[in-house]
């Protein structure tokens, strides 16, 4: 049985009773047998219950902060007090306290949604951070409108995707796209500056033939490295059914951490030390309109799915490793008809304006990792032009050609699959 910590004599009786009942229920569940299929359907409901309990915990932390419990305990902050209570890291505890105090507002839509279990604490953190980044002139009523819109999005998106949506939160109350673009650019620019401040690299010789390292770099440079490593590890090595000599050790490719580690070693061995100030090692497609590239404050999109500030895009434009996709400028030939089977880099670059990820419904693999598929097969007289191109990840590209599955392409270009009976 679970042993409860001794509660304060003046603790709320309803809260004490509730936590005792929760522990009693969990004790009974711990002794239960789980059926393979019947119980797994309850995962979503258990997650909602966990989120509701997280809401109660945050309310308790906010109450502790209001009552100055840290000072009474001789500690420097509520975060330090929380870290001591739950034996957690102080930095993470401080983040939790900040979220608890931010949600401690009677009119908070995020707090209400969290209490209902329809969003997570991480969703709520994204929402409150976005509200903090709104311009000072935004009224309390407008802040409420923005918060309500973000909470609605949080019910449908993961925290990572919500974070991207939240950068343009101002568009809920601001009809001028230029103002929204400028605000988004300002938010991304702040993120880039904070990232540079936190950038670190540490190396430790383990004296056993290995060196262990840890690094923190800005998102742009992390995606540059990721793209290089994914490019080195993702391509097919041979046709299906090829011999082991042709394909290599399968375990080396199925253990992705090891595969990326080996690719990183290969990358280091091939660094051009004779021209360290040459072109950027990885080619990144940056999508931005002509006005934005010149002087307008609008973010630019990377083909890895992230965004960078306008200033960062203009800086990168000086490097030969950047492929700028400037909308409104001179275009490259994109329709090669039947003269060639493979899509060109120009076509791939143009397709990046239509798709940010794999075209398969629900797949979030970034466009940069996708292969080009002919909607109408080239062998069946399908042309190699932009209208016939579809970006799909390796897994879904194989599924498109798997005779055990049917697929349907919607008017918007999304692909859904169904197993044949």
Angle at 284 between CA 280 and CA 289, to 5 degrees: 120
List, in sequence order, every residue forming a beta bridge with 326; answer none if it has no partner.
Answer: 288
Q: What is the pLDDT of residue 152?
A: 96
Q: Are 348 and 332 in contact (CB under 8 A)?
A: no
Q: What is the pLDDT of residue 69?
A: 92
**Sign of the Cα pseudo-torsion (285, 291, 294, 295, in order):** negative
Q: Taking the CB of residue 344, how many other CB atoms lie within 10 A of it?
A: 15
Backbone phi, then psi, for 173, in 5-degree steps? Answer: -120, -5
Q: What is the pLDDT of residue 90?
A: 92
* 3-state helix vs strand vs coil in the chain, percent to 5: 50, 10, 35
Helix (H, G, I), strand (E, B) or coil at 300: strand
Q: Please state, in angstroms and rounded to a whole number, the distance separating the CA atoms of residues 85 and 93.
A: 10
Q: What is the pLDDT of residue 353?
A: 73
Q: Are 54 and 121 in contact (CB under 8 A)?
A: yes
List, in sequence order, every residue forming a beta bridge with 391; answer none if it has no partner.
Answer: 372
Q: What is the pLDDT of residue 362?
A: 77
- Please classify residue 286 by burial: count the beta carbons closer than 10 Å to its beta carbon, then call 0-12 exposed, 13-18 middle and 19+ buried: buried
Pairing of strands 322-327, 284-289: parallel
Q: What is the pLDDT of residue 246?
A: 38
* Letter string b/e over residues 209-245, b meaning 16 or more CB atoms within 10 A of that residue's CB: eeeeeeeebbbbeebbbbbbbbeebeeeeeeeeeeee
Residue-by-residue DSSP string for 201-231? EEEEE-SSS-EEEEEE--HHHHHHHHHHHHH
Q: Please state, in angstroms and rounded to a whole number, the distance separating the CA atoms of residues 312 and 160.
A: 22
Q: Please state, in angstroms and rounded to a whole number, the distance separating the CA atoms of residues 161 and 233.
A: 26
Q: Taking the CB of residue 341, how many other CB atoms lie within 10 A of it?
A: 11
Give the pLDDT of the chain (421 residues) as one tens digit per residue.
444 444 454 555 788 888 889 999 888 888 887 776 667 778 889 999 999 999 999 999 999 999 999 988 899 999 999 999 999 999 999 999 999 999 999 899 999 999 999 999 999 999 999 999 999 999 999 999 999 999 999 999 999 999 999 999 999 999 999 999 999 999 998 998 899 899 999 999 999 989 999 999 988 888 888 888 877 776 444 344 544 443 445 555 567 788 888 888 877 766 665 544 444 444 556 666 656 555 566 787 776 677 888 777 766 655 434 455 555 544 444 444 444 556 777 777 778 777 778 888 877 777 877 888 887 776 556 777 777 888 888 778 777 877 778 888 887 778 888 887 7
88 Cα distance to chain centroid: 25
Q: What is the pLDDT of residue 281?
A: 46
Tokens 């239960």 locate to 32
Q: Please state, in angstroms and rounded to a whole number, the distance separating the CA atoms of residues 305 and 346.
A: 19
Pairing of strands 284-289, 211-216: unpaired
Alpha helices in 76-138, H assignment, sequence order: 78-86, 90-103, 109-116, 121-132
Locate 297 and state its tokens: 């404050």
């Amino acid at each position: 049985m679970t042993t409860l910590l001794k509660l304060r004599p003046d603790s709320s009786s309803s809260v004490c009773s509730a936590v005792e009942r929760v522990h009693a229920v969990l004790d009974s569940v711990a002794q239960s047998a789980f059926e393979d299929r019947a119980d797994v359907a309850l995962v979503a409901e258990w997650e909602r219950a966990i989120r509701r309990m997280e809401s109660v915990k945050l309310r308790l932390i906010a109450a502790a902060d209001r009552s100055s419990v840290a000072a009474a305990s001789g500690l420097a902050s509520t975060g330090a007090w929380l870290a001591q209570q739950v034996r957690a890291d102080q930095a993470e505890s401080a983040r939790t306290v900040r979220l608890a105090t931010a949600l401690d507002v009677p009119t908070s839509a995020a707090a209400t949604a969290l209490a209902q279990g329809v969003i997570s604490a991480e969703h709520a953190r994204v929402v409150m951070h976005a509200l903090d980044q709104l311009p000072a002139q935004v009224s309390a009523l407008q802040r409420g409108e923005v918060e309500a819109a973000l909470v609605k999005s949080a019910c449908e998106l993961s925290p990572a995707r919500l974070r991207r949506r939240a950068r343009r939160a101002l568009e809920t109350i601001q009809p001028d796209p230029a103002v929204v673009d400028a605000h988004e650019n300002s938010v991304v620019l702040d993120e880039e500056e904070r990232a540079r401040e936190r950038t670190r690299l540490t190396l430790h010789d383990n004296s056993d033939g290995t060196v262990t390292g840890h690094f923190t770099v800005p998102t742009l440079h992390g995606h540059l490295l990721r793209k290089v490593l994914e490019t080195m590890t993702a391509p097919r090595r041979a046709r299906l059914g090829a011999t082991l000599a042709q394909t290599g050790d399968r375990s080396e490719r199925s253990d992705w951490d090891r595969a990326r580690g080996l690719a990183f070693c290969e990358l280091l061995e091939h660094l051009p030390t004779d021209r360290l100030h040459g072109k950027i090692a990885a080619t990144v497609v940056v999508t931005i309109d002509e006005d934005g590239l010149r002087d307008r404050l609008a973010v630019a999109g990377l083909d890895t799915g992230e965004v960078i500030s306008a200033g960062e895009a203009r800086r990168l434009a000086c490097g030969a490793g950047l492929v700028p996709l400037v909308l409104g400028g001179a275009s490259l030939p994109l329709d090669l008809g039947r003269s060639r089977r493979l899509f060109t880099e120009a076509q791939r670059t143009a397709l990046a304006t239509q798709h940010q990820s794999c075209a398969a419904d629900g797949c979030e693999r970034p466009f940069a990792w996708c292969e080009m598929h002919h909607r109408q097969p080239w062998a069946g007289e399908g042309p190699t032009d932009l209208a016939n191109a579809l970006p799909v990840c390796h897994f879904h590209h194989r599924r498109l050609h798997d005779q055990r599955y049917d697929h349907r392409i919607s008017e918007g270009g999304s692909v859904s699959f169904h197993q044949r009976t």
